[in-house]
Amino acid sequence: MTKQKKGGNMTTDNKEKSVIDTPETNLIDENTKKESVFNELGAIKIKEKTKKKGKYDYIPWADAWGVVLKKYPNTDFEILRDSEGRIYFGDDEIGYWVETKITIEEKSRSMILPILDYSNNTIKCLNIEHVNKAIMRCLVKNLALMGYGLKLYANEEIFSDSEKQVIDKIYITKEQVKEVKDLIKKTGADEARFLNMRKVERVEEIAHGDFESVKADFNKKEAMRRREEKKKKKEQEQKQINEGKNENS
């Protein structure tokens, strides 16, 4: 009986080990890790790091790299090269571009970026300054693929359906954005002041979990506004009554 018991334990141990060590289980663990990186980087507020150039918002590469490196110190950044060893691709006929690759927690993703001039036109006469700036911009967009600063590029087709679902979980939906903007207009609130209080740059950056509290605040202000209007109306009516009494007397 003792041998049978030992044999039973060994069988159980072997079974548990086979489940733990299966490629399928390892793949699940790896996918969970990758999803965790994307979620954590995507949840980081970008307002304080976001700058504006013309009508475009952007995050300086040094700020973006610093934030991600602080969160994941082992993050690796690689500048990819063409077959001739150049740190850019293309020619005068089709234009030029650069390509970078980011690796975080053993998950790698690459990104390409056309080399453009200040008017966003294709550059034909290339110099090292153009290449250097394009690489740094590509780095920031590459980091967005990993999750950080993704809201700046959320409308571009660079995210998978599952990642877009994550974005929707982090930030309020388009319908909720419209509802908040309607409430701002309806209550006559100062949008700039409201965004500053919420520590966001745009309504679209409001966290999904904050939506109900935002609505509650606006509804409270709307209720106060209605009470104030009702009070003023009542005071006005009383004033008219008193004036009528004075005239009759």
pLDDT of residue 21: 41
pTM to 2 decimal places: 0.53
pLDDT of residue 248: 63
**Amino acid at the residue 238:** Q
Q: What is the pLDDT along the chain (249 residues), one digit of tens a residue?
A: 333 333 333 333 333 333 334 444 344 455 555 568 888 898 888 888 888 776 677 889 999 999 999 999 999 999 999 989 999 998 887 788 899 999 998 888 888 888 887 766 778 788 888 899 889 989 998 999 898 988 787 656 555 555 455 556 667 888 888 999 998 888 888 888 888 887 776 787 787 778 888 888 888 888 887 888 888 888 887 777 777 666 665
Q: Of 99, 101, 98, 102, nearest to 131 (Cα)?
A: 98
Domain residue spans of the chain: 43-158, 175-248
pLDDT of residue 15: 34
Interior CA angle at 51 toward 167 and 75, to 5°? 60
pLDDT of residue 48: 81
Beta strand 76-79 with 56-58: parallel, antiparallel or unpaired?
unpaired
b/e per residue 234-247 (b: at least 16 CB within 10 A): eeeeeeeeeeeeee
pLDDT of residue 43: 85
Pick the CATH number of 43-158 from 3.30.160, 3.40.50, 1.10.287, 3.30.70: 3.30.160
pLDDT of residue 19: 34
pLDDT of residue 145: 87
pLDDT of residue 93: 78
